[in-house]
Structure 1
Amino acid sequence: MQTAQPAIPLVPGVETGGTGAWRTPVELGLLGAIWGASFLFMRVAADDFGPAPLVEMRLGLGAVVLLPFLWRSRASFPARIWPKLVVIGAINSVVPFLLFAWAAQRAPAGVGAISNAMTVLFTALVGFLFFGEKIGTRRSVALLAGFAGVVVLASGRSAGASIGWAVVAGCTASLMYGVGANLVRRELAGLPAAGVAAATLGTSALLVLPVAIARWPQQPIPLESWLSAGMLGVLCTGIAYVMLYRLIQRIGPSRTATVTYLVPLFGVAWAWWLLDEPLTVTMGIAGAIILGSVAISQRAPR
């Protein structure tokens, strides 16, 4: 599961009751709201910063927030593992972040949030095609339904303009998340998850830095765009990752993955409430189809 965030590693987690009865739904809802807001912040800041400078802000600030976790577990990261971290960071952060930022310049925030829900399906598809995982009839049907939802979403228009290429960019970003999820699970298993997130974000920030400097906007950047970029990096990347890994440790990856259903809902709601972006019939139909397909793919077999 990915929503503009790192791949969820498969680590054990058990919730023993007590305060967890109310704590878990609250934290899942809060995480869904934060990640849904990331598409709002990208929509606000993308035009003023441009994709590369905005992504550099996001990666750099997120890495700074998570740096203490990397420092604490630094002994687990020998020199030989860093080339893998660089490659996986590029796949799991640089490319999808750039694609979502590019799409945010061309389509409503809700379009990116809905496209992001395809990550779960792409993760299963990549595992089947390249890593020998079984996909089964249920997930095959879910994939077909999800792709049908993407076609519906891409056929829509915003303010009279086609959003097809923005949908393609968002779905390609979700595909990269699917590749990254499989690579993290296979290549970085056993490493501290928060440390991995810090390392991949930090190396990714270094990769994007030359392009960000070359493309840094010449005109003054409005305060609201600076604030949006800051929130995107600190809240939606750094703090959200900490929340993610705490949830995984407490309740396990499968239950944490249910946040996937909340991100598009919050993404559309934030954009409607704060940016006055309309919820079109096409977006509603596509969102229902994609989220339904994700729900089918996540159902445990009898």
Structure 2
Amino acid sequence: MERDIQKENALKAWGFLIILALVWGSSFILIKKSLLVFSPGEVGAFRIVAAGMVLLPLSLPRLRGLNRRQVTNLIIVGAVGSFIPAFLFAKAQTQLSSSLTGVFNAMTPLFVVLIGALFFQARITRRNAIGLFIAFLGVLTLLFVKEGGSLGELNAYAFFVLAACACYGINLNIIKYRFVALKPVAITAISLLFVLPAAALYLFAFTNFSFKVTHVEGALPALGYIATLGIVGTALALILFNVMVKIATPVFASSVTYLIPIVAILWGLWDGEVLLLGHYLGIAAVIIGVYIGNRKR
């Protein structure tokens, strides 16, 4: 009986892993398509609004009983785990291909390790350091690859993605070291609720979002892309990820990091993006570095 349950959980975990890789790997092409109509700020803000609204049934009932410290930490988690990265990714993709954005995003686990060591007294191992170094070389290669295939021209917009990865690193360390009583689903839902008003205020008071929705051609499909980003790519995917962590191991769950760039690259190639030899070398270095640095043994 127990073996049957383990087998069933293993099958579920693999199913969740594939779904999450497809969902998160597809988010970059969705951002690219939505930017054809909306500004980076509008894309980021509506993504948060959509995610926060769909999780209201989960967040509102869980507000009771929170203490001041939990509220403060949840606001920080909402800001660095969802709000700020949503804007950074959209801004980055105004000058960066969706496929390369997906590759840079794979640096997140190494930022978790690095920030944990710098600010949360976590231990950084020799394996972590080697992985960081290899991945860093890959990032440098990707930063300086020119359209002609040679090196020398810095693509500074990649730093927006790396800043988003750093935000994720802060977020995951806060969740790991400062939350004990709250479950992951509650953390996700309530943190999004706390940043929802700021996103809605910015979206409807300081942008042309409402005008574009009703007057600009192609706005409705673009709106659908962003809604999918928020509802599926942010809200539901995070819940699915939390379920997968419970029935599998954290190491298995983290392997989604290696699949996301593959999905992002395939979408990019399908959409006509061109990757040069230098890109492939940098991509390989990033993925190998992340794999080495994220291994537990």
TM-score, length of structure 1 as denominator length: 0.87
TM superposition shift of 1:57: 1.4
- Tell whether 2:177 aligns with 1:186: yes
1:246 to 228, 243, 250: 243
Deviations 1:210-253 (A, max 9, x none): 33231234541513211211111111112211211110111132
Which residue identity is paired with 1:263? I
The residue number in structure 2 matching 1:65 is 54
Which residue identity is paired with 2:285? I
Question: What CA distance in whole angstroms lies between the structure 2 residues aligned with 1:193 and 1:56?
Answer: 23
| TM alignment of 1:168-183, pairs within 5 A | 168-183=159-174
The residue number in structure 2 matching 1:147 is 136
- Tell whether 2:253 aligns with 1:261: no
Question: What CA distance in whole angstroms lies between the structure 2 residues aligned with 1:106 and 1:39?
Answer: 13
The residue number in structure 2 matching 1:204 is 195
The residue number in structure 2 matching 1:288 is 284
SS of equivalent residue, structure 1 residue 17: helix
Unaligned stretches of 5+ residues in structure 1? 1-14
Which residue identity is paired with 2:144? S
1:84 to 65, 73, 76: 73
Which residue identity is paired with 1:224? P
* Residue range with higher mean Cα deviation, 204-213 or 185-194: 204-213
TM superposition shift of 1:108: 0.8
Question: What CA distance in whole angstroms lies between the structure 2 residues aligned with 1:267 and 1:229?
Answer: 17
- Tell whether 2:213 aligns with 1:215: no
Largest Rg, 1 or 2: 2
Distance 1:282 1:210, change over 3 A: farther
* Residue range with higher mean Cα deviation, 289-298 or 197-206: 197-206
Using the aligned pairs only, state the percent identity. Answer: 24
TM superposition shift of 1:16: 4.4
1:135 to 124, 128, 148: 124
Question: What CA distance in whole angstroms lies between the structure 1 residues aligned with 2:25 and 2:160?
Answer: 18
The residue number in structure 2 matching 1:109 is 98
CA contact (8 A) 2:16 2:241 kept: no
Question: What CA distance in whole angstroms lies between the structure 2 residues aligned with 1:278 and 1:127?
Answer: 36
Deviations 1:98-157 (A, max 9, x none): 110001111110111111111111110111111111112111111111111110111123
TM superposition shift of 1:279: 2.8
CA contact (8 A) 1:58 1:230 kept: yes
TM superposition shift of 1:78: 3.9
CA contact (8 A) 1:47 1:105 kept: no
Unaligned stretches of 5+ residues in structure 2? none
Which residue identity is paired with 2:192? L
CA contact (8 A) 2:45 2:86 kept: no
2:28 to 12, 16, 39: 39
2:42 to 34, 38, 53: 53
Distance 1:192 1:224, change over 3 A: same
Residues matched between the structures, number? 287
TM-score, length of structure 2 as denominator length: 0.89
